Structure 1
Amino acid sequence: MRRLSTLSFVLLASCAATGHPDNLETQPGEYGYQAQYRDIDVSRAEAGFLKSARLNSEICLPYRGGAYGTKISGVANTLLGERLSRNDLVEVRIGSDEDLGGNYVISRDGTLKMPFLPPIRAQGRSTSDVERDLKNTLIAEQLYDTAPSVSVRIMDVASALVGVSGAVFEPHQVELGGVSGDQLDTGRQEALGASTEARNLSAALRASGGVRPDADLSAVELRRNGRLYTLDLRGVFQGHNMVDVMLLTGDQVFVPSRQCFQDDLMRPSPISPPGVSVFMSNLTQPATGNAISAIGRNVREMPYGTRYLQAIVDLNCVGGSRATSAHRSGLLLSRNPISDVSIAIERDIEDMLRRADRDDYDPFILPGDSVACYDSTITNVAEVARVLGLIGVGLLLNE
C-alpha cells in the first residue's frame, strides 16, 4: 500500500497549477497581435475603464491614403464599369454583314481576332472602346468606305486569375467567376449582357480569406498592365459603397498593413472572412474524436468577430454544477500573422465572466485558432480518485 500512497501524492500534486503559458510576444509592456492577449494585471476590484482598443490603435501606422474621404491620385475612371478580359465571350455585329459578325472569344493575348482584320486590343477595355477601334480598322483595311454600325456586347464573362497578397488571411492566386471545367452557361449566353460581380475586387479579397484586422484599407493597390492604382475601401466599414472594381486576368492586388490590430475591422463585411473555422477540444480524456463532447462541424464554424468567451460557451466549458464545474480555464492558441509567431493564452473562465472589464482581456477569435478547456480542480481530483481506484484493484488482484 506504500506504493499506492506514493502514487496518490504524485497524482494529487499534478493537480496544482502549472503556471500560465510563456509567450515571446507578451513580455512586460507588450501584448502580442491584439491588446486583449496581454496578461490580466489588476484584480477584479481594481478593474478600470476599457482600454484595449486604445492600446491597439496606439501603434498603428498612419493611413497611407490620408483621412477618409480624401481623393487619392492614381484612381482612374477607367477602372469603373465593365472591362473585357481574356476568354470573355462577345457578340460582334457589323451592320448586316453576316461574314464578319458572330460570336468571338477574347484571345489569350487579350485581343479580339476577326477574319481579314488585324487583332484589336480588348483586354482591360470597355466594349465601346472596342467598337470605336473596330470601326476605324474596317475603314483602314478598306473593307468599308464609311464607318458602319458596329455593336460589341459581352455574352458571357470568363473566369479571371488574380494574385492577392499582403494583409489577407490566405494570400494566393485566386480564380474568380466563370463556370467550372468546359461547361457553358447557355442561358446567359442567349441573353446579351453579363454580370461581373463574381470578378469584383471584393470577391477576390473574400477568396483570399478576407482582409486581416491589421489591413490598411485606405490604400489598397491594384496593378494592371504596368500601372498602379490606389483604392480606398474604408467605405465598406463606414456604411458607404466601396470602390468595387471589376478585375481582369493578370491583375495583382496588394493590401498594405498598418502593423496594428483594428477592433473595428472585426465584423462581417463584403471583404471580411466569411466565418471562422476553429479547432476545438473539451475532452476530459483523450479519445478518437470530439463527437462524444458535441464538438462537430457546426461548433467549429463561427461568425467573424466571435470572441474567446463566446467560443468557450460553444465548447460547453461554461455552466453546469457550480460545485464541480466552476473554476475551469480555457486555452486559446493563435498566431500573429505579421510576425508568424504563435501565442498561447490561458484565461480563468469564472474570473473572466465576473470581471467588469472582461472585454479588455477577451480576444477576438481569428481563422485557424485553436480553443481548449481544462476541467476544474474538483473534477481533476475526482479523476485522480478514479485512477487510484483502478490501480488499487490491480494491486489487490496481484497479491
Structure 2
Amino acid sequence: MRVVSRLRLLPPPAARAAATAVPPGVPRRRAAVRGAARVAVFLALASVPLGAVPAAGQLGAPGGGAGSQLLSPPRLPPVLPDGTPLPSLPPSAQEDILQRIIGASAGRAGGAPGTPRGAPAAAPSPPPSSVTAPPSPPASAEEPLSNLEAFFAARFDPAPDPPLRQFGYDTFRVPPPGAAAPPPLGLLPDDYRLGRDDELVLAFRGRARQTLTVRVGRDGMLLLPDLPPVPAAGRTLRELRADLEARAQRDLGGSEVFVSIGQVRQIGVFVAGEVARPGIHALTALATVLDALAAAGGVRKTGSLRAIRIDGPGGTSRTVDLYAVIAGAPGRPDLSLQEGERVVVPPLGATVAIAGEVTRPGIYELPAGASGAPLAALVEIAGGTLRPAGNRFLVQRTDAQGRRNVAETGLRDILRRGDAVRVEPGADVTVNQLRLSGHVVAPLTRASGGRDGLSLRALLADPRLIRPDPYPRLGVVWRADPATRVRRFLPFDLGRVLRGQADMRLADSDEVVVLGQADIQWLASPPVQRALRGEAPGEEGPGACPALVQLAVAARASPHRFAHARGAGFPDIGAPPCPRIFLDYPALLPFLLDQTVLLTGEARQPGLYPILNDTGLDALLAAAGGTTDAVDLSAVEFAREPVEQSAAIPLARNLLDLRSRNFAAVRLSPRDAVRLPRGFADRDIGPVTLLGEFQRPGVYDIRRGERLSEVIARAGGLTPQAYPYGAVFTRESVRQRQQEGFLRTARELETSLLQVAAGQAVAGSRGSPADLGSAITAGRELANAIREARAAGRMVVEANPTVLAARPERDVLLEPGDLIVMPKRPNEVTVVGAVLNPGSLQFVSGWRAADYLRAAGGAQRFADTSRAFVVLPNGQSTPAGLSAWQQGGPPIPPGSLVVVPQDPSPYETWGFVRDLTQVLTQVSISSAALAVIGRQVRN
C-alpha cells in the first residue's frame, strides 16, 4: 500500500487558469474535447480514495494495482494523450489518471481499487532465490510411495484407496514452468521495522517539489537534501512517516511529503537438514519460515514438520511447529526470519496413520519430543470424523515380538509410534424411518412415529404423493421380521386405505410399495409367461430383470404353484421392458402372481389381477376397465382351485347368471379364474376388402356365412373394364400355410445339401470338386430365395357374378380379413425364367405358350422346357405343353404368366428335385398375385 499523508484533489488557481486556456491555433472543437478530458481527469481523481493512489511507475508492472510499489522515480510526462498538461499533482496520481483515461478509451477499467489508509500494504515480490529451484511434479496418485507410506499401506486390510500420504509435504511444491508465481506470504504493515538497504520513495509537494528514491544507509540513517539526517533503521514505517511529516512542515515551509516503500531489503537465510536444496537463500525481510522452506525446494518426506529449529546469530534458538499453520493445530508460531538466522529441518519424528471415516485420512507426525498423543488430537488434525457420533476406532499396534494386534480404542487413549487407526461406523443402521416407493411422484422417507408407529392411512394422507393410474386393488408393505430380520410382503387394499375404510399400523423400516396399472399389465406379458414355464430369461447385463429369474426358479421348484396364471396374455405380442418396481423388488413378482385372479374373455383389459381374499367381482371388473358390449352375462364362468391340491378333488367350475349385474355378490379369492363369454352375434369379426374394378370398392363388414357374390352385389357389381378371370382372392390363413411351406422347403433343401455333400465326400464324386461346390452354392442361394419369398395366400375362386349365379356351389364363403382384387382386362402375356428375352408381350388371340416363347427369343441353353408351366390369370397353373407331341399346349388367355425353369440336371442325384417344380410354381403364383395387388393399391 502506498502511504499518503494528504492529497489535494484540485490544482491551484493558476494551474486551473492555465489548463482552461485555449492555445492559439487550436480549433474550438478540439478545445472542447480537451475541456471534457480535463473534467474526466478531475472526476477520476476525485474517485481515488485517500491512501489508495497507486505508486508512480506501476503501469505495466506485474501485479500492478493498489498494492504495487515504486522501484524507480516516475518518468511519464504529466500530459494527456492529446498533449494537454495535467494539473500539478503527485506523479503517482498523474500516472493513475492517465491509466484510467487510456483504459476507458480502450473499453476497460484503469487502475486497481485502493486500500483504505492504515491497512497493511502488500509487500513487493521477493527477489529470486540464490539457487534456482527446478520444478517439482505436482502431487498425484501415481507418485511413488515413500518408505513410510508403503509401511503403513501394508498395515491396513483392506488397504486404503487411494493410499495414505504423509500429511503436509505438498505445501512446498514448486509450480511447473510457465505457472504464475505465488503471491508473497509476507505483508507490509505500518509497524514494519525498517533496516539498512530498505528503499523508500519520498514525494515532496509544496514549496519543495521533488521526488526522491533513497535507501537506508549502513548507519541506519536517511540522507535527504535540505534536511538533516533522519534516523530510520529500527523504526517502524508509521514512526518514520510521522517524523518526516513533522520535519517537512517545520523545515520546508509547510511542504507535504508522501512516503512509500520502493523495495524491501534482502536477507540471507541458511536452510539445512531434510530439505531438497540446502544452502543459503536470499529472501526479503518480510519472508517467513515457509518462504525459506519453499526456496529450499520444500521439506523431504524424511524430515519433520513439527520440530523445525530456528537458530539465531546470538546463540538463540526456537522451534516451529508447522502443523499449527497447515493443519490448524493449537498455537501461533513465530514464523518471521532475521538476517543471519538458520533454519534446520531435523529428521522425521514419530508418526501414526489414520484411515476410514475421517475427513482427511493420512499419516501424521506426533508433536516434537512426545512419545504419544491422544487419539482425539489425531482425529482433530485429520479434520474430524465424517459421522458426528457412533464411530468405532480400531488401532493396530505392534508388540515386542513384532506381532500386530488389533484392539478397539477410545478418543482418550494414547497413540504410540507406528500405530495405525481405522475409523469405522459403529452401527451403520438407520432406524425409525419408513419408505414410500413404487408408483409415486418421488420416493419418500418419513419418520416411523416412534413406539406407536405411523399408520398406513397417515402415510398416504396426501393423495398427491401417488402418480396417476395406480392399481387400487392391492399394495404391499415390505416388512422385516423383528427376530429373524427376514423380509416378507404384506398386502393391503390401496383403494380402501385412500377412502379411509382400512388401515394398517406400520413398523420401523417398513417399505410401502404402490403398484401402477402398467406394473399389473406386465404380469401377463410374454417374458412372464416364459418364466412361468420355467424358462430362464436369456437377457443379461443392464437390461436383465432379476424378478424373472426368481419367478423361473419358483416355477421349476413348484410346477403347480402358478398353474392358474399360465396362458394369460398373448405370446405373439412384443415383450415390454421390465418395470422398475420389479428391478427394485425382485421377490415381488412371484408374490403378486400368487395373489392373482385370471380374468379372460370380454373384459376391456383381460389379464392377471392381484387381489386380497374376499374381493368382490365388481372391484375386479373396475380394475379391468369393465366389460365389453359383446359380453354374455348369462353364462359367466367361475373356477376355483380346491384348498387341498389333490388329483381326487376336481376343479370347482360354475356358470353364473349375472344379468342383474350384481357383481359385488361374487366374492373372489387369489388363484380364481373368471371368464366372460362373448354373446352370439350375426356380425362376423372383422371386415373384408374389395379393391379394383368394383362400382363401390372399399371395406365391408360381413355377417356369418356371407358369400362372395353377396359382397360383390353390395359393392354395386363390376365395372365394364373388370376382368373376373384374373381376380385375386387372398386369405390370411392360406398365406400362413403357404409361408410355412416355403420355410419347410428351404429347410429340407439345406438338409439335402448337407446330405449330398457328405455322401459325395464318402463315396467319391463323379464330377469335379469345383462342379460340386458350384452346385451346393447354387442350392444354398435357392434355399435363401425360397425362405425370403413372400407368400400371398391366394386362393383360386370364381369371381364372375354371372357364373356364380348359375353355379352357386362355387360361391366361396368369406372370412374376416379376406382381400378381393378385381383387375382391369389386361392385354399382355408375361414370359419369365430361362428365356433369352424375358418380359411382357402383347396378347394375341389363339397363341399358345410355344408362340410366346418364340416371341421372347426362345429358351436358353440350360432351360428345361419339359417342365415349363403357365400361371393362368385366376391363379391356376398348368403345363405349358412345349414338347413336340403336345403341339405348344392350349391357347393362353391374357394376363397369363409363362415360366420356363432351369435345367435341374446338376441336382438330379438329389432326392428333393422332384419337389422343386411345385415350390417354384407356388412362388410364381404368389409373385403374380402380389404384383396385381400392388398395381391396384397404387391406382
Whether TM exceeds 0.5 here: the answer is no
Larger radius of gyration: 2
Higher relative contact order (CA 8 A, sep 6+): 1
* TM-score, normalised with respect to structure 1: 0.33
